[in-house]
Every structure is written in C-alpha cells, then in structure tokens.
Structure 1
Amino acid sequence: MMYSSRGDQGDRDLLLLFIVLTAWETGSSQVHYSVLEEAKHGTFVGHIAQDLRLELAELVPRLFQLDSKGRGELLEVNLQNGILFVNSRIDREELCGRSAECSIHLEVIVDRPLQVFHVEVEVKDINDNPPVFPGIQRNLFIAESRPLDSRFPLEDASDADIGENALLTYRLSSNAYFSLDVPTTDQQVRPLGLVLRKPLDREESPELHLVLTATDRGKPELTGTVQLLVKVLDANDNAPAFDRTLYAVKLPENVPNATFVIKLNASDLDEGLNGDIIYSFSSDVSPDIKCKFYIDPLSGKIIAIGHIDFEESKVYKIPVEAIDKGLPPLAGHCTVLVEVMDTNDFAPEMIIKTLWLPVKEDAQLGTIIALISVIDQDSGANGQVTCSLTPQVPFKLVSTFKNYYSMVLDSALDRERVANYEVVVTARDGGSPSLSATASVSVEVADVNDNAPAFAQPEYTVLVKENNPPGCHIFTVSAWDADAQENALVSYSLVERRVGERALSSYVSVHAESGKVYALQPLDHEELELLQFQVSARDAGVPPLGSNVTLQVFVLDENDNAPALLLPGPGGGAGALSQLVARSVGAGHVVAKVRAVDADSGYNAWLSYELQPAVGGARSPFRVGLYTGEISTTRDLDEADAPRQRLLVLVKDHGEPALTATATVLLSLEDSGQAPKASSRASTGAAGAEAALVDVNVYLIIAICAVSSLLVLTLLLYTALRCSAPPSEGACGPGKPTLVCSSAVGSWSYSQQRRQRVCSGEGPPKADLMAFSPSLPPCPGSVDGTGDPQASLDSSGKVGCSSILFVYVPYATFTWAQVFDYVLWIKGC
C-alpha cells in the first residue's frame, strides 16, 4: 500500500516489509501464506498452483475454484500462471479487529479427480493507525489545596493496530507543576495519570494548558495528542477517597436488566456539604458503557441495564468518580474492571456444500459427497464443536481443517437395497448444557448396470400337442432385472443352434419385448418328440448383462396315423396274406398271423384285431386273437368247410377317434393226404426241438454271458464316447423301420422301431425301448421271394432256432426281467 504522506523512503520501507511466505502443508491439503494489509491490487501472494502440486494446464479443465468463505473477492488466482494475488483492499482491522491472529481461509476445489485444499493467508499488520484519545481536550478541576504527589487519572489512548504497532509511549509537554505517571507493563489496569509535583496557586496560575502526546512503536511512528486544561480550584481540601483504586468483578453474559454488579465505597474526611459524596461515571466514559451500566449517585451501586454480550466485548473498564458537594467540589477516582464470562448462548451454524450428486452405486470408498463448515460464536469449550452423522449410513465425516469436515463414502452402495439416503448432520458444542444444530443432506444413489436379468427358474417344461397351427403361442418367458431405467429394460432372443439339418429359428421364435414364444410350423410327434432350446434375456445397460433359460418342449402325440399292415408284397407292401391249412389240424391251432404297426405312440399305437363276419352270415371256423392278430381254428375242420376261406380282419387303434385298417387273409384248406411234406417238416422240427431241449442249460448260460458281455461293452463304449467326443447336434427324423418282437400275450408281433433322436443337442441319440415278452410264438427268420419277412414254421408251429434275430439295443433299454424273458425264449428254441 502507498502512503503519499510518508514519501519515497516510506514506500521503500513498506516494500521491504512485504514478505510472502510459502510455509508448510498440514497433512496433504493445507498451504500457508502471509500478506501485508493494505497491499496494492495485484500484489503477489504465492505460487498456489505450484505449492498445491497442480499443473497449470489442468487448472481450467479441472474446474479450479477458489472459495474465500464469505471474505469477498479479497484474493484471486491467475489461472494462466497459478499465482495467488491481492484483488482488493485488505484491512486487517476491519477483518479481525483487535485479534492478535488474522487469517483469510481459502478453500480450493478441483475436479477430475475431486480434491479439496485448504489455504490459510495470514494478514500481517502495518502501522496504519495512529494512537487516538477519547477526546481532543480533557478538562481537569484541581483544588489548589491538593497535596503534592496527588495523582489525577487520565484516559489512555487506543491504537487499532496490534503488536509493536499498538505499543504506546506517552509524553507530557514541559511544565513546572505536573509530571506524567505511566504504569508499567504489569500495571496495565492502572490508568495513566498526572502527578502534582509543585503546589498550585490559583491566584498565580488559575489555568494550565498541557499537551499529552501518545506515540506508537511502528515504523514510521504515528502519534496522537489531547489538550489538557487544568483549572485550579479554591479550597475544599479533602477529596473523596475510594477504599480501592481498582475493583474487579466477573459478570456472566446475557444477565437480565437490573442485575447487581458491584457497590462502590468512597469516603470524605470533610464535613457537611464538603463530605457529601455523589457517584458518577467519569465524563469521558464511552457511550457504550453508559448504555450497558448504571451507577446509583447516592449508594454507589452499579447495575447492568443493557445487553451484556461476551462476543461483543469481553472486558469493560469503567472509570468512576466520587465528587463531594464542596465549593469547589473535589473528586476521587477509581476503576471498575468488569470481566464478562462466556455462556453457551450460540448454537453451532453449519454450511453444507454438496458435490456431484447423485452418487453412483459403484463409487469408490473415500469419494467426497459434501463439504461441511461449522461456526460457533462462543469461546472455549462453548465454541468447540464436534460433528456426527446419523447411524447406519454408508458415510463418515473426515476432519480436514479446524471446523471443516468432508462427508465421504465409507462403505459400498447398493441402489437395489437403498436408493436414497437422508443423512442428518449434527453439530454439537462442548457447553453445559450443550447446544446443537442439525442439517439434512439428501444423497441419491444412481443406478449402474450390476444386475443381470433373472428368470424365476432355470428350466421350464412345455407340453404342446402335435399338429399345432403355425404361429401359435406356446409359452411366455419372463425375466426380472433389479436395476432401473434402461438397465432394467429386458429384451429376449433365441440362442440359435442347429436342430438336425435345420436352424432352431425355423421351428420357434420369441418376441423381443413380451417374451412370448411361438411355434412357427406344425410340430410332428413322430418326427420330433422333444425340442430343447435356450432363450436369452439381455438388458439395455452399458455393458449389457444377460442370462439364459432352458425350455423343454415336449410334443404330445395325437392319433393322426392309422395302423399300417405288414403283408406280403415288395417291401412289405399291401396285398392279401395267403396260407395253406391242413384239414387235419385240431381246434385252437394257429394257422396264420396278421401283423400291423402304428406310427403313433402310447395308447394311440395300441392295436386290436377283429374278424369281420363272413358274407352270407356263415359261421367261420376261424377266429383272430384280440391283441395278437393270430388266426386260429375254433373247431376241427371237416369236409363241409369250403376249400378256400377268405377272412377279413379289422385292425383298430385305441385313439380318439380310433383309426382302422383292413387285412384280407386267404386260407387254402388241404386234405390230410396232401400234407406229407408238412408232416415230414413237422417231425424234423420236433426232432430239432428235442435236440435243442437237451442243451437248454448250455444255451441259457451262453445267452446270459452274451447279454452280460454286451451290457459291459456298451457301458465302456458309452463312457468313452461321452468323455472324448464333444456333444453333437442330434438329427431329428424317423429312423429305418426295424422288425422286433413284442406281444402282451406271449406271441410275436411286428412293431416299427422308431429310432427317434431327442433334439436336445446334448449326448448321443437314444433308441426307443425294445421289450421282449415270454412265451414267444414263431419269430420271423427268413424272407420270401416277395421280400416279406416270414416265419420258419414246422408242422407243429414251432420256430426254428436258426431264425433268432439279434438286434443291438443300448444298455438302457433292458431290465433284468426282460433279459430273463429273452433267455427263456431262447431256451424254448
């Protein structure tokens, strides 16, 4: 600051006094500077960017902010060079009054990453305030009879500066009657005073004009003066005297009006009016004291009449006079020192500045949520404040500086559990009773995509009847995402794969928004019994998350296939079944067998056989087994029976509605003499059967060993294939028809073995169950010229052992009871 009244030398001295100190860091975020008050605009304070270890090029991108905490724009930062400079006039006395310490607290905030620094700029005092007396003139009335060494108090001068700049020395103008009594340092409460050194003579000098000068110790020195007018009074030779020159009393702040403070006591050795005393404040007492205290002129009691506030003034120094009623009146003086005691009358005040809300739920621990500054105007323990948060919140307070806190993230956030926190900050002082203040901070938790869509169960089973209409809705998948907004927006899609030679998308589709699954074409149980696939649910987050669910679609059979007859003809095609029958056969002899298969399954494929009545109502000597299809005689044949019998057999399944097929059986009856060859064949067959029965135990052992070996070999091969070969897509389609033997009543019948692969994409294909039943009739063992499998029957209707058909079936097909049945059949051979 320039002082034009001091000249160039003064300017150079002020420039020499200008010291900028880049001090220390408190922790990792405090920097200390100092600057002289009244410094000019642009005065350098410090390299703040360098001292905070910030790059100059980052100041603007990182949103450098300087918060002076209500101090206005006293200081500013040049973002081009990172220098902190004086922006406007700084008056230490205006900022801090008589306080010995005076600092400007700055808060520096930068982003990316978020950092908060505290900067303290100490304002140094300069000697810019001269000493000032309460008035420009002081009138003193002193009786000429006052003895030597009498002391007359004077009001001290005051200096708004501090330290050396406020230490005053006094000088009295040269005179013959008075000297100046200046108290020592440990007698500061004792007022300045004049001491009478030479007796006064009113007749010789009725008035004395003196000048009192106060000089501070600053550089340059500043002075203040007051004119002292001493009027010499006549004769009242005893002035009132107090029992003490200094009264000290402690008074709590905020006491009610009319509170008693102290009672003064003065005495006068004179009598009469010269001994009557009137108490009053000194004439030069400040108006503030007159507003806050009252002295009773007769009793000398001092009472409080105004608001006593510790934060306004901690000490009141009250000069009191006791004046008698003599002529001229004489006065005695004393000082009442009232020390104001602080009470806890101010609750803490909080200022909360929130940063970057809402907070993402994946924010790192230690992320700063808000900055909190606390102010308590009380002192001592009454002004010591502690802050706390409501319990059970994932935040904590970190003290960054005196009465400055940062609310930071203390534990992980989960928006799906708690989406918003109402955090209550409580500031409590150390008074008794303590006072507190609360403030609420609403912290919203922002969602991140941390939850994948979830299905209620990992797998669903869907039953669909075959021959469904194209595009029909068969199922609806639904996934739930715990996130919010686009992170919870779920879309559905098929996990594409191959089903045999076709793509999965040719069979089914899924609606992306609703999750509805549609069958794009009619499904055929005979072609595809199980369709297993996965539907994916994926949210719209970044990055997106997803999960899959498995659907097992079982195609239910409907009765849509009529029975198919296996009759002689190319490839087992259509035609009549012809058979020679000897007239000599007895009742119950099986002469032929109608064989049929049904492509359906279950109840829809269960066949029954019925013999249609003959034309004309004639009763036929033949009958057909209801479930076996075997045609047998009902009685002995005779000559009256027609040589050619035409039988019409109706084959019907058990579906709803039932489907049928009709087979024609042509039987040619032969006389007994025409069948020697058959008899020969029968005897030969019987001989072979007897030979087979001799070795039945051998065959039994061989069959058991063979089946056991097949089972063990199948297990080993299956295990090796499962462990070595990757899963292959199964082909969905009907297999080649294979001749097998099964009967509910103990005889052979033909059934189509549908080697249907399960379209799951997992594991090798599995063959249909092939069950063998005991008491088996003749099994087909040869093929005739037309390609029709025929049974090798001897005259007794037994099957030859050479006609046994061994078919490989996976191990899972058989139970041990079925194996035993099969062995018994071999035994019968």
Structure 2
Amino acid sequence: MSTSVTHYSIPEEMKEGSTVANLASDLGLDVKTLNQRKMRLDIIANKKYLDVNKETGELYIVEKIDREYICPTKSSASCYLKLEMILENPVRIFNVEVEILDMNDNAPQFRRDVIHLDISEATPKGERFSLSNAVDPDVGTNSVKTYHLSESEHFNIEVQTGRDGSKFAEFILIKALDREKQAVHNLILTAVDGGTPARSGTASVIVRVLDTNDNAPTFDKSIYTVKIIENSPIGSLVIDLNATDLDDGANSDLTYSYSLYTSEKTQETFNLNSATGEITVKGMLNYEDFKIYDMEVIATDKGANSLSGQCTIKILVEDMNDNHPEISIKSFQSPVNENIELDTVIAVVSVSDKDSGDNGVVDLHIPHNMPFKLRESSDNYYQLVVSQPLDREKVPEYDITFTVTDRGSPPLSDNETMTLELLDVNDNVPQFPQSFYTIRVMENNAPGALLSSLTAFDPDLHENQYLVYFILEKEIANTSMSMLFSINPENGNLYALKTFDYEIEREFLFHIEARDSGSPPLSSNVTVHIIIVDQNDNAPVIVSPWRAHGSVVEEKIPRSTDKGSLVAKVIALDTDSVHNSRITYQFLQVTDATLFSLDQYNGEIRTMRMFSYRDPRHQRLVVVAKDNGDPALSATVTIKLSTVETAVKAYSDMTEVPLEYDIFSDLNLYLVIGLGSVSFLLLITILVTIVLKCQKPKPSKAAPPSRNSVISERNSTVADSTLVSNDAYWYSLFLAETRKGKLVVRQPVPKGSRYIVSSIPRGTGLTETSDSAASTLQ
C-alpha cells in the first residue's frame, strides 16, 4: 500500500460537474489497464464534494464547494479537502489533498443592523464609544479593511486593528449635544473589505440624546370648569387632564394625584387615573344632592429630582332631560305604485318617552313639502297617509324621516328614516320634440338615404319606456307610404325607399306613430311633410320651329318684308320647376346683327330694317334657349333664312309660317321613333298630372279638351304667343299635328285670358277655331 500525497488547488467558485484533474494519470495509472484487470479506483473519504469517474479516472466536483462552510474558522488561511483513494486488485491507498482557494464572495456584515447609543446631553466632547465590528467570512485581503461614517457635525470614527488583525471602529463625540435642538441622530456606518471588486456592508447608528430633568410639568389652564349631567353612568369621562413636560424619558413621565385640599366627598365621587390624568364618574350624581365639586390635581414627574405642577377643577352638575323619546315603526309599505289613491295608509308609527311631565310629552314630525301627512289614530300612534298625487317621473323615491321631540328643556329628540320607492305606471304618452316635421328631400336621391331622425321621448321606465315607431298607412295614387318610405321601429330613423322625381311627385304628407310597450300601450303621432326639391335635371326642349332634319330649320321670306315683321318664333319647354324652367333666348350666331332682333323672353325673331340689295340672300341664325338653373342647361336651333322675290303670304303674329306637307315624307325612321317615345312619356306625365289635379277642387269650369282644340285656363302674364314649360297639352298637340302636316295655331279669346289652340291642314291659309266645335282634320 502507498501513502504518497497528491496535492490540487481549486477556486471555490467551480460549479458541479467540473473536472478537477485526471487522477488516474497523476497517480501513474493506466485507465485501459485498470479496466482490463477489472481494477476499481474509488474514494473512501469526503465523497460528498468530490468523486472519481471509474471509467476515465477523472476527479470531478459532485456538489458546489463553499470554503466558508468547510473551513468556518479563520485560524489558518488555508482550507483543504483530504481524500483517500483505494485501488482494488491489488489493494492500494492514495492520499489526495484539494486546497480550496478563497474568493471575495462575501460582503462584510454587522452582527446587528441597528446600533443604538444613548448619550447624555451633558457628555463632554472627545468621549469615545465602542461600536460592534463587522465580520467577513472571507480571509486575507478579502476580509474587512476599513470603516466609513456618514457626515455628522457631532460624531466621527477612528479605525483600530485588533490583536487577531481584525478591524473595528471607535465612535468619538466631537461636539457637545443639545437634546432640545436634536433629540436623535441617525448615522450610517459602512464596512468595506479589500477584495477586488470591494464589497461593503452597512449598519444604522441611532444616537438618542438623554435629557436632564430641568423642566416642571405644566397644565393647559390653571382653572378648569366642567359641566356634567346628573345620573351620568359610572365610568363616564368628566375631563382628560393633559399636563406636559419638556423633558425626556423618566423626566417627562408624569403621575397625577389629588392635593390635600380636595375633599373626601369629591374623591369618593370622582376617580383620578394617576397615569393618564383622566377623571371619571365614580359614584352616582344627583343634582338635588350636590351641585358643585371642587378639586385640586398635582402632576409630578419621575425624575431623580422630581418637579411638579398643579391645577384647580370645578365640576358643575346639571339637571337634564335625560331620557330620549323613542320611535317604533309598526308597519311600512314600500314600494307602492305611483298612482296610489289619496288617503292611503303607508306606515303606522308609535312614539314613547320614559320621562314624566313636559319631558315625557312628545311630538312627531315629518319634513315639510312632502306629499304625505301624519294622522293621529290613538294615544301615541300615528298613520302616514298620502295627501297629494305622486308622480314617479318627478320624484322616484322619498326618504321620509320621522322625528320625535319631547317638550323638555332642552328638548330631546330621536329620528328614523324610511325610504318609500315608487313603482312606474304607464301614465305618459311618447312625446315628439315637434308636432310637425317639414323635411326637404332633393330629387334624384339615392334609395335608402336617411331623411331624418324622428325620436320621441317617454319618461316612464322599462317596458313603459320602450318605443316602437310606425308609419300610418296612407295611399296616394294606389301607392302606400310604406312603399315609398321606411322607418326604423327602434330609433325612428326615416329612410327613402325610392328615388324621387320632382317632375312626377312633389310632396307627401303622412303621419308617424310612436307607441310604448306598456299595458295598455300609449301612443302619439306626428305629421311629416316631405317636400321634393327640384334639381335642374331637364334641359330645355325646342318645340318650335319644327326641325324635320337634324337641328337646322330652313325658312323663306320675301325680300320686301317690312321692318318689324315676325320672321320666326323659337319656343322651348323645360319640365323643371318654375325657377329652373324660366327660358331666355339669345343669338349665338347671326349673319347680320343689324338685320334681325331676338326677344329674350318670347323668342320672337323680327326684322330690324328692310332688306337691301346689298344684303346676302341667305341668312344663318343660331338661337340658344337657356334655363334659369344653376348650372344652366340649354338647347340650340339653327335657322337658315332665304329671301325670295316672289310674294309669300305672311301670317299674323298669332300664326306660324306654313310648312310644306312633303317635308315630313323624308323623316328619318329613327327620328320618328325618338319623337314618338318622347310623346309617349309626356302623355304618361300628362295623365298622372290630370289624376292628381282631379283630386283637388277646380277653381272654374273650362271647355273639355278635344284632339283638335284646347282652351288654356291659366292667366297670361306674358305676350299672347308665349308658352310656359307646363303647357304640356299644347306641346303634345303641336308635335302630333305638325307630323300630320297641320299648322298649329293658338289665339286668345276676346275679352279673356284663355287661349284657343287649333290645327288646320298645311297648304291652306285658313284657321278654324272655336270654343265648342273642333276643327276638321284630314
């Protein structure tokens, strides 16, 4: 067996599983040979921290090593783990020493976190005091090296070294203390070790300055006057004396006592707490037996040379109404419906008072301006009844305070509050902010557009407050309102279901109902007036002169035409509203501006002078008809005038120049279809207008319209031959008759404002008109 020693050094911070060394190699053992011979290397001592890998022969750490735990004493700077290794077959024993090297892993630490020092204010400066030193389990330079003290004008420290090399600090008073200026000094003592990096620990040093007994106790007053009610119970507080002493500690601890001048009767009736100075009732007080008690109390401190102060107390016993009246609620009904009948009993209350005489007579009250009243039913019993109608929407609940007061002097009272809750009744109809709504809707609106929000309010609660909105059905021209408008039943939002056309429909009048969900339900309705606002969405249509081919009209006039003669008349129609349909006429182009004039209001083109031989034979006039919209819409017509030497019969201002019948024979098929479609749409419009107007009373009777003749009932405010945009029948007749080669003529009725519209065959110069008989048509 071998007794050689193998030495290793490791730092204590090595982690578990770390390899210390290859022990087999260091011992001169071949691991392969060991395995072949089935020899086993094992540790038989200190196996807690270190072990050997039996296959590789490596020495490794089993558990983290703490040097301060293994070597708690600091008698030696070295710390070893001694191991014994055994090798079997043959048996050999090896000694292994593993030195644990210290690291600075511990900070200095004081045995106490707080160091208390009591120093008298009479201590002279220069006096030294011992402080407990800090300890550091590390060794060498890693242990405590020095101390520091926080800044102070009264104290300082000196670092001393002990026989064992430990460091400690001495506390030195460098300036005299004054307890009245500062009774406690709080300092921080710091210990620092010599490691790299350095570690430190702190302790609080609390210095309490001890006082000398140089102040006598004093009371707030020299004389106290106290009133106390007779029959006050034993132990009732009379007065709490509070003498003060500016000293500290035992010098300010006070003891209270009666002086020799206090009578035995007083001391038997009142108890004085010697520690707190409280004076309490010790015996029964009776105003009729004893009314005034005088006493003298002394406060003495517990200093070595005790000091004292005194005061005088005068106690006055008062005769009082010492029994309070009592209230007892026998019954109370809550909640109740807000429509509860008047004079209904809500509560029954009883009152009582144990006193006698006036002190036992009581009165019961409730607050004023409440819809209730008290009614006395029997001795000391009262009923609370409803005196005015209740309305939950104004006051949802009442806090009713019953107050009982006796007639003593001073009177005593008691009160009790009960809450009366009102239940809602469906007694309020829904209310709209307005009784009539006027809503303007621009035509050509998008279907589904929000028009307005018609929200009603119901002050009731719960289902009595939940509202549902309806449109009251009303049919207009076989169309119900629900097909035109929709309302959200929950919030009253009104929507349009279709796109409106001002030229077809201009206003709607209907009712909307708001109904609550109460039982029975209540409802109210509001009138809604929908006004369709016109847009300038129709351009003027030129209906005269008739254009058979495109937009060019050819006319012939004699060169001998006089000045002021009517050459042509431009008539345009616009189906928009009156404002947007006002037509004005202007020349866009004119061959000779000195030859023709155009009336901007009636569209009449007249000669401004006679033709001369220098004037060209062909004149080109371009006329624009513009409406009054914003932006304005317009239509144009081109008139080509040819002057002829032959005489042409001129018609009066109330007729049109004859057109040859054969000008329509070459009419393009597509133009005919287009004009027919326009005529059909206008005819539908006329029929709808007639139906609507038939529902209203007519101001006067007129001759029934016929195919060949019509009498216009409207008043004329412009020239005889001027048409307005809503004269649809005249426009329809004009299109129909001119296609057949007829001449359409409109003449005023003598002594009247009506017009007679007639048609005659082209090629004749005769005009047949009549109020009753129709003209002959071929």
TM-score, L = length of structure 1 = 0.42
Higher helix share: 1
Higher strand share: 2
